[in-house]
Amino acid sequence: MRGPGRWWRRKTTPEKVETYTRWSFHSFAMVELATVGLTVAPVGARLGGLLLLMVAAHSAVCLVTVSRALDWTRGRRPQPVRLLWTVAAVTIAVSATAFGIVEHGPDGESVDGAAGGAVGVALIVGVGIIALGIRQRRHVFAVVGGFAAGAWIVPVAGGSPADTAFLAAAMVLMGGGLIAFTAVISVWLLNIVYELDEARETRTRLAVAEERLRFGRDLHDVMGRNLAVIALKSELAVQLAQRGRPEAVAQMVEVQRLAHESQREVREVVRGYREADLGTELAGAQGVLAAAGIDCTVSGATAAGLPVAVQSALGWVVREAATNVLRHGDARRCAVRLRVVEGCVVLSVENDGVVTEAANGLSGASSSSGSSASSGSGLAGLRERLAEIDGTLEAGPAERGLFRLTAEIPLPSPAAPSGPAAPSGTASVAAVRSVSEVTP
């Protein structure tokens, strides 16, 4: 999907918050320039042009300082100390120029109002921008108090009434303090958002690590005992063979049987068929997503009573869908629904926060074939698994920015056997073994 908002949709939540914060403080500098530009006309062309030029320079320095200060906050640049001093110097210069216009420029209430407004706006915006580049709170208080004190001392020293100077200082103190407080809170919230996003990624990695540990425990349970027995029987067969005892052949036959049994059980663990049903996979997916900070709800029919083959296939669907929710996009909610409709069981997984490119890639994966499909990974592999039991799989973007995965499997008729039929090769091997056992 292309459009003016594509660059915004591609941003993560912390990046969106940072962009909003950055442009909010950029707007303060632009508002300063617009305010002074609209009120400077009564000052005159010469003095007004000078004041407007200085305010424009102040706004430009503030714009650059905002970007550098926020980059410093995120650890991308060093602290912009020189720029902070530059903002302070230009702020003082603008204020001094405007105060000089009030004292020595054209007479008139409109001139005093325009120049006084330029002083107030420059001081208030300058204090707020400087606060962005300061980490210590007491330094922020010192900056706000220092500029407010200067807004009172300079007019009084220049002969202005004390009450007027006090009113100007109070305005600078309140306005500058408000913007400085906004700057401090904005930086704090921005850092909190990034930390929460990092914590969410950490929870996701921990959830994946926990799943790997579970898989490792299952694999150890399968292989540990069999390998120990194989080692013992192999040692016994070696000792019997060294003594010329015929029992060594029987021991090696048992070793061969255990090796084949271990191979079969390992395949079952890898494929997710070992003592796993749909209910277990639904609970596991809900726990993993909850650990990653995603609200996952499971509704609809229960998995109890479904054929083993159907539960195994849908269990794979749930596992792959949960993996996609964790890996792609920035999901906050996920809904899993299981239904039995007209002799078919339908499983749907729907989540939000899908990036357009990721959704397109997943949709393509559901209809493409390749090495991943043959290895049983990805949506293409799920499609092939479901096709073995006449099932179908659909995946793609849905309405309102959602991504939906739907698997549909027809239920076997009551006359059909409940379990999957054994392959012909397995039946042939079993028959040969039976004949060899009864043959003297």
Three-state DSSP string of 266-335: HHHHHHCCCCCCHHHHHHHHHHHHHHCCCEEEEEECCCCCCCHHHHHHHHHHHHHHHHHHHHCCCCCEEE
Phi and psi angles of residue 383, each rounded to the nearest 5 degrees, phi first = -60, -40
Separation between Cα atoms, residue 272 and residue 254, nearest integer Å: 27
CA–CA separation, 435 vs 429, rounded Å? 10
pLDDT at 397: 85
- DSSP letters for 43-62: G-HHHHHHHHHHHHHHHHHH
Residue 85 confidence class, pLDDT cut points 50, 70, 90: very high
The predicted structure's pLDDT at residue 291: 67
User: Would you state the pLDDT for residue 321?
Assistant: 87
pLDDT of residue 437: 37
- For 48-76, b where at least 16 C-beta lie within 10 A, e where not — what string? beebbebbeebbebbbbbbbbbbebbeee
Is-contact 131 177, C-beta < 8 A? no
Residue of 277, 169, 266, 185 lying closest to 223 (CA atoms): 266
> What pLDDT shows up at residue 64?
92
pLDDT at 434 over 50: no
pLDDT at 293 over 50: yes
Q: Which residues contact 363 (CB under 8 A, 6 or more apart)?
A: 395, 396, 397
d(Cα 327, Cα 359) in Å, to the nearest integer? 11
What are the DSSP calls for 365-389, one per residue?
Answer: HHH--SHHHHTT-HHHHHHHHHHTT
Which of 128-137, 275-284, 335-344 has the weakest average pLDDT?
A: 275-284
* Element at 337 (helix H, strand E): strand 333-341
Query: What is the rounded average pLDDT of the residues 203-208?
Result: 80
The structure's pTM equals: 0.53
**Cα–Cα distance between 55 and 37 in angstroms, integer?**
9
pLDDT over 80 (residue 114): no
What is the pLDDT confidence band of residue 277, given thresholds at 50, 70 and 90?
Answer: low
pLDDT higher than 70, residue 173: yes
Burial class (CB in 10 A: 0-12, 13-18, 19+), 199: exposed
Decide if pLDDT at 212 tops 60.
Answer: yes
User: What is the C-alpha separation between 383 and 393, in angstroms, rounded?
Assistant: 6
Chain segment 315-328, per-residue pLDDT in tens: 888 888 888 887 76
Nearest CA-CA partner of 372 in 315, 422, 307, 323: 323
